[in-house]
A and B are shown apart, each in its own frame.
Chain A
Amino acid sequence: MVSAPFSRRGFLAGIGGIGAASLLGACATGSDSAGGAAATTLTLQSSLSDPDPKAALTKVVEGYGKTPVTLNTIAIETFRAQLPTYLNSGNPPDVLTWYAGSVARDYASKGFLLDVSDLWTGSGACAGFSPALKELSTADGKQIFVPTNYYWWGVFYRKSAFQEWGVQVPTTWDEFIAVCKTIKSKGVAPISMGTGSTPWVASGWFDYLNLRINGAEFHRELLAGKHPFDGPQVKTVMDHYRQLVEYIDPKGRSYSWQDAVTPLTSKKAGMYLIGAFITSGVPSDAVDDLDFFRVPIIDPSVPVAEEAPTDGYFASAKSKNPEGAKELLSYLASAPAQQQFIQLAKSSNLPTSQQVDTTTFAPLVQKGIKLLNESKAITQFFNRDSSDELQTTADTALTKFLDKPGDVNAILAEWQASAKKVLGS
């Protein structure tokens, strides 16, 4: 409901954009200077429509004094569908929220994104960011993305519950299976996983098992279509996944990821592999009891990789005021703006700027920072490393696999066929 007026405003803005575009087309000469002079106000198109992040971004934008900024908040479903229209219109929003990965690269290759390479060199706002983040923000040798925060994935559990059941945090696969067995013997579902209305959650285990068995390099290539999903490497991954099936709470098939947090907090389930955003779904009295551990190592010779989905902003190549857009991006990427946003949004996200003082952050978040710093490679998540369309082929394959693990060969062959269709188009 909250986002309705904003959607309408976005719609009206779109109509206005069409009107402006046709007007510009009608008087093709001499309109450039008028357009440039009129665009003193910058537009920031945001998909952060949840109350806390939305309030946080509003506050951060209010603190920007250089140019007046109009903040348009649009629900993510509409935002995603309309993104090409936004970028392609004659009078596009100057700066937009998005996430790093293949979708951004795809837009960059079509020339819709502003080259922000100068922010990444010299005294630019992103110059101090890690090389991994820089690589994530690069397309065709240019930087087109400004990452401002990211989060980690881990196996979350309740410390008091592990104590009650007398189990220790596992570090190897065998230990992990042993922990599952012990928890199950107490009449508790060892693993919670909400794959009902959010089937993408099932890709969490797939990604991690692939990272642990075949490594980050193979994982990236697999999602880029360079290896088949029914090849021997993926079969090994599924063999491990299959060992987990009997320990996964069967009711999770009807749950969303949020619903599946409840059994974890009420100690009816033991562990949950999920992103750090889980803290927003845990009651405040249980947050301090919440802890996580790294997905256990399977093959010690494979360099440790972690998933760290990265959020941030990009700017439209057709912005009427590219310098202003870059300045706004620099402000959003600055340490104080990052810190203000993360704290006001009440998220467990990590800042990309190393100048943010993280000592005041919760111990859990500090542990998350340490986890990522210790890993050798960073991936994002299945959909961000590939595409939303390839993600649905994974959703179909993996939820079917959870129902019928015996049909794994047929399911993988079918997955490969539908992935080929997606990647081919």
Chain B
Amino acid sequence: MTAVTAPPRRRRAGLRAVPKVVWVFLLIPAAVEIGMVFWPAVNSFYLSLTEWNGLGAAQPVGLENFRNLFADDIFRDALWNNVLWAVGFGGLSVLGGLGLAIALNRPRRGVGLYRSAIYLPMVFSLAVTGLFWRVQYQPDGTINTLLGAIGLESVERQWLADPDTALWAVLVAAVWRQVGYVMVLYLAGLKSTDPSLDDAAATDGAGAWQRFRYVTWPQLRGVNTVVFAVTVIDSLRTFDIVWAMTQGGPYHSSELLSTYMFQQGFTFLNLGYASAIAVVIFALALVFIITYLVRATKEEAA
């Protein structure tokens, strides 16, 4: 009995031993966090049930905003674009990053140069990346000029002004920046794998693909966790690069939930409607994170 009750008592004593000034240091940031982050976040749930333009009192309208949302073509397109974006952005940056990491894993002459060059775009902010790529995509920009030079005039188009290509053009720019980051994460992961396992498998006559699939890949599980989390979060919060390149246009064809929310909230001041979009984004993020956490705990238990 004493052995069981002892640790809590010790912990309580530990709590009491914390100097008062430390509590002050803890409580002030907590109060700021609650006042500046959690309270406004909770407020946006309330606002999503109201109609409010920033003036006077918000008018409660029940679930009206959500009903309107699902009848709103622009919202539905933005939701679908977000799905495309998450799959495209996540898929391409993970495949590209992993491929580059494997290709640049072996020490060779000049490999450091390649690695730095690929990582370099990461130092630009997304807004700057967007501005840079907008110039490349101009009708007389680098991309069309290159296509023309190799005889592909028929492929030339106004990448950002064409509703069929705008979203993908922005996606390429975003992946261009993200791929170096994912590569570095995987390079770190590959460094921590055991090379003797690889050598042993090679001696046993396993091919390159088999060695990767059955020897290296299982050892990358920890890195995969990080990459997955980073990618999901980055793809759901995407806003700046789209805003810098197309502002959701032409005619909403590259609209994401975040850009539509921004437009409704901060250009039109439909704060209730914008909050409803924010709640949907929050719910989506929550679904991803919960599914992921459930899977992760299950794997750990197993």
User: Closest B-chain residue to A414, C-beta based?
Assistant: B73
B72 smallest CB distance to A (angstroms): 8
A254 with B160: CB separation less than 8 A: yes
Question: Chain B interface residue count: which class?
Answer: 20 to 34
* In the complex, B161 has a CB within 8 A of chain A: yes
From B55, B140, B158, B247, A84 is in contact (CB under 8 Å) with B55
Chain B residue numbers with a CB within 8 Å of A107 are 55
6 contacts between A and B (CB under 8 A): A81-B265, A84-B53, A254-B160, A254-B161, A400-B251, A425-B270
A266 smallest CB distance to B (angstroms): 12
User: Closest A-chain residue to B138, C-beta based?
Assistant: A254
Chain A residue numbers with a CB within 8 Å of B251 are 395-396, 399-400
Chain A residue numbers with a CB within 8 Å of B265 are 81
User: Closest A-chain residue to B266, C-beta based?
Assistant: A81
* In the complex, A77 has a CB within 8 A of chain B: yes
How far does the alpha carbon of A197 sit from the alpha carbon of B250 in the complex, in Å?
A: 9
B 54-73 binary contact with A (CB < 8 Å = 1; else 0): 11100000000000000000
Chain A residue numbers with a CB within 8 Å of B163 are 403
A134 smallest CB distance to B (angstroms): 26
> Which 9 A-B residue pairs are closest in the complex by CB-CB distance?
A84-B54, A253-B161, A251-B139, A81-B266, A389-B268, A396-B251, A254-B161, A254-B158, A84-B55
How far does the alpha carbon of A250 sit from the alpha carbon of B54 in the complex, in Å?
A: 40
A253 with B250: CB separation less than 8 A: yes
Do A110 and B137 contact each other (CB < 8 Å), given the known contacts A196-B160, A392-B263, A400-B251?
A: no
* In the complex, B252 has a CB within 8 A of chain A: yes
* In the complex, A199 has a CB within 8 A of chain B: yes
Number of A-B contacts (CB under 8 A): 65
A333 smallest CB distance to B (angstroms): 27
B49 smallest CB distance to A (angstroms): 16
How far does the alpha carbon of A266 sit from the alpha carbon of B126 in the complex, in Å?
A: 32
How far does the alpha carbon of A231 sit from the alpha carbon of B10 in the complex, in Å?
A: 81
Do A388 and B160 contact each other (CB < 8 Å), given the known contacts A110-B55, A110-B56, A199-B249?
A: no
How far does the alpha carbon of A197 sit from the alpha carbon of B51 in the complex, in Å?
A: 30
* In the complex, B269 has a CB within 8 A of chain A: yes
* In the complex, B267 has a CB within 8 A of chain A: yes
Chain B residue numbers with a CB within 8 Å of A250 are 139, 158
* In the complex, A80 has a CB within 8 A of chain B: yes
* In the complex, A85 has a CB within 8 A of chain B: yes
Chain A residue numbers with a CB within 8 Å of B268 are 388-389, 392
A 241-260 binary contact with B (CB < 8 Å = 1; else 0): 00000000011011000000
B174 smallest CB distance to A (angstroms): 18
Do A85 and B160 contact each other (CB < 8 Å), given the known contacts A251-B139, A254-B139, A392-B263?
A: no
From A87, A199, A251, B250 is in contact (CB under 8 Å) with A199
Chain B residue numbers with a CB within 8 Å of A153 are none
A340 smallest CB distance to B (angstroms): 33
Report A186-240 residues with CB < 8 Å from chain B CB. Answer: 196-197, 199
B265 smallest CB distance to A (angstroms): 8
B278 smallest CB distance to A (angstroms): 15
Report A56-93 residues with CB < 8 Å from chain B CB. Answer: 77, 80-81, 84-85, 87-88
Chain A residue numbers with a CB within 8 Å of B267 are 80-81, 388-389, 392
* In the complex, A112 has a CB within 8 A of chain B: yes
B273 smallest CB distance to A (angstroms): 9
Chain B residue numbers with a CB within 8 Å of A88 are 54-56
